[in-house]
Amino acid sequence: MKAIVKEKPGKGFKMRDVPVPDDLAPNEALVKINKASICGTDLHIYEWNEWAQQNIKPPQIAGHEFTGKVIKTGSNVSLVSTGDVVTSETHIPCRKCIQCKTGRMHVCKNLEILGVHRDGAFAEYIKVPETVLWKLPEDFPKKYASIMEPFGNAIHTCFVENLAGKNVLITGAGPIGCMATAIAKATGAAKIIVTEIMEYRKKLAKQSGADYVLDPTETDITSSVKQLTNDNGADILLEMSGNENALIQGLESLTNGGTASILGVFPGKITFDINSLVIFKGIKLYGITGRKMFETWQIATELIKNKRVDLSSIITHELKFEDWEKGIKNMLDGKAGKVVLDIE
């Protein structure tokens, strides 16, 4: 089968012919992938940044966002059947630790991540534990099925609080930031303010439902947010950028007693005044990783199936599998939202 592989340490991927997985464990299923999408994590692995160097052990197939059909199941599989249309959770839980036993599989103590700790989804076939597969209706749009995982990140980040009637500040208009913008609009946020420096992403934020898009290189974010909110500040901060300055600006812009929900992953240690920005403001601070398994997936399915959230503007490129390099380049240049690869 064709697969995009991280062959060795250093920048880049290679498309290679590799064996189709045929050694299914009793609890695993083999899925024929029809669409996969490129994620920011894939860019980190491609670029071979510090995080990738610490977590990836080449050679390994990259990618973790996909949809496809089950074509073979292990002897003990009972949650899916041959022919089922599926997408997949990328956090693979051990199902034994206290987190897994108490309904928190997404923060499993022994967590493995698809495409990080084991072969991923940039391939024609993938084997995964049945535990992480999520069945979809036959008529579910395939391109949206391939981005259910990042959409779930946005849902998890947004749903820590009721956004209805709240002034929401979203820092970073990458694909998940734009998804969060669409969710905030669909759930009745009062004002949606997005910060972003890239022109392409500013446009995506507006198309996704932002009322205001502010460029921190052109305006004082804290003053602008207060001006837009009757000097109160934002009720809720959704931090999607992984940028230290954006986080600090977001916390400064929060009203006293507000909520900060942080999904962005930062490149290293960060420094800010926790006393003035968190403690004395009495804010609630949520660290977000992954999706709730499987509460978030059910919400994501219903929102898309019933057309409550419009993700059409967020998928900006649909490419053939062999054109994957074009997708990587566009994302690295900040000239893409979600890039979906057609593997059929």
Catalytic site residue from 44, 64, 106, 317 = 44
**Omega prior to 141 cis, within 30 of 0:** no
Annotated catalytic, 91?
no
**What one-letter code names the amino acid at 57?**
K
The Cα 339–Cα 328 span in angstroms is 8
Half-sphere exposure (CA, 13 Å, Cβ side) for 21?
A: 25
Give catalytic status of residue 44 as yes or no: yes
Q: Both tokens of residue 193?
A: 């303010």
| Contacts for 255 with CB less than 8 Å, ≥ 6 apart | 229, 232, 233, 234, 235
Closest among 201, 195, 172 to 263, alpha carbons compared:
172
Identified catalytic residue from 41, 171, 259, 316: 41
- Would you state the structure tokens that stand for residue 166, as one six-digit string? 């709240």
> Is 302 strand, coil or helix?
helix
Q: Indicate the pairing of strand 14-17 with strand 2-6.
A: antiparallel
**Contact assessment for residue 240 and residue 172, using Cβ atoms and an 8 Å cutoff:** yes
Q: Is 53 helix (H, G, I), strand (E, B) or coil?
A: helix
**Residue whose pair of structure tokens reads 């905030």 in the numeric block:** 184
DSSP string, 14-25: EEEE-PPP----
Q: Are strands 65-73 and 85-88 parallel, antiparallel or unpaired?
A: antiparallel
Backbone angles phi, psi at 126, to 5 degrees: -145, 145
Active site residues: 41, 44
